[in-house]
Amino acid sequence: MSLDEIDLSINFLGKELQYPLMINALTGGTAQALAINRALARMALKYRLPMAVGSQSIALESPEAGPSFSIVRDINPNGIILANMNAATRVEEALEAVRMISADALQLHFNVVQELAMTEGDRDFKGIVDNVRQIVHECPVPVIAKEVGFGFSREAAQCLWEAGIEIFDCGGQGGTNFIVIEDQRGGNFAGELDTWGIPTAISLMEILQLPVKQVIASGGIRSALDVTKALTLGADLVGMAAPLLKAFISGGLEALDQSLSGFFYRLKSVFLMCGARNLPEIRRKPLIILGETAEYLRLRGIDPSCWARR
């Protein structure tokens, strides 16, 4: 097998993509955010990657913040761009966020944990599922449910699936921890709940127990090996954010480009080392799940040996 034979292409939202990687939601609303989103959009265009913008609520409140989001569509007019709003947002605001960037899909982020950790955060979350159902009904593009670092359980995902959500971003524990961030600025949890959340691999496998259309794995994805593991478990693609931001801040656009180029080389190398030419082949490879993850799955009625025996 040759490295040149490795084909990492996938279909997402009806478009063919070169790699199973999505630039996940990061920022928007400030001059610095505009520079970051401009750079990320250039990479999304170059490597044909889907990209989600950060929460657009600031642009709905302050229209002058709009260009820090719309720059993404300006640079990448034919790419897959995801709008981003809180799951509790009003329907008309969600639709305006989609129009703002001519989005191909709408990410609804679920950040209940972060809100509770914030001294100024929301405390009332009644009616969110009904609100999601209404947004799904009226939104002209697919709606994606996204956790922000604490993972969806199977039960939570099922509630949203019954409300019409067919695409999930598991957003599991393992990456950016908003409880820690909020506690560092005087939040409500006083360091007692820093380990709260469902790890990414487990949340991914819990969601996969449902007849969903596609699942994005995110939360602590840092390496080509992490991506390969997620794809082998069953993710359709993988979302990354913090490593890309770190690369850009440390060395600008050139460093970001080099980071992605090296990452894709390593990802192809891992596929070759596994003897897989493409995504369907990697998903047929045996995967050994051990330790706490395996025990967790067994207790939840999921047999981890299914991955090992294929």
Task: Cite the annotated binding site for substrate by residue number.
Answer: 114
Q: Which of 103, 108, 31, 109 is nearest to 67 (CA)?
A: 31
Strands, E assignment, 128-270: 143-147, 167-169, 214-217, 237-240
- Give the contacts of 299 (CB within 8 A, at least 6 positions apart): none
Torsion of CA 298, 218, 175, 268, to 10 degrees: 100
Distance (Å) of CA 134 to CA 65, 83, 114: 27, 17, 24
Task: Return binding residues.
Answer: 25-27, 55, 84, 114-115, 146, 176, 220-222, 241-242
Task: Decide: 148 and 203 in contact? Cβ < 8 Å.
Answer: no
- DSSP assigned state of 199: B
Q: Is residue 48 within a helix (H) or strand (E), and if so which, with residue range?
A: none
Query: In this structure, are residues 263 and 226 in contact, taking their beta carbons and an 8 Å threshold?
Result: no
- Go through the chain and tell me how many residues it has: 310
Nearest-CA neighbor of 149 among 190, 100, 210, 193?
193
CB proximity list for 239: less than 8 A, separation 6 or greater: 21, 22, 23, 24, 52, 169, 171, 216, 217, 218, 221
Binding residue ranges for Mg(2+) = 115
Rounded to whole angstroms, the Cα distance separating 69 from 34 reads 7
Phi, psi of 158 (to 5 degrees): -65, -40
In the annotated binding site for FMN, the residues are 25-27, 55, 84, 146, 176, 220-222, 241-242
**Of 118, 173, 182, 166, the residue nearest 151 (C-alpha):** 173
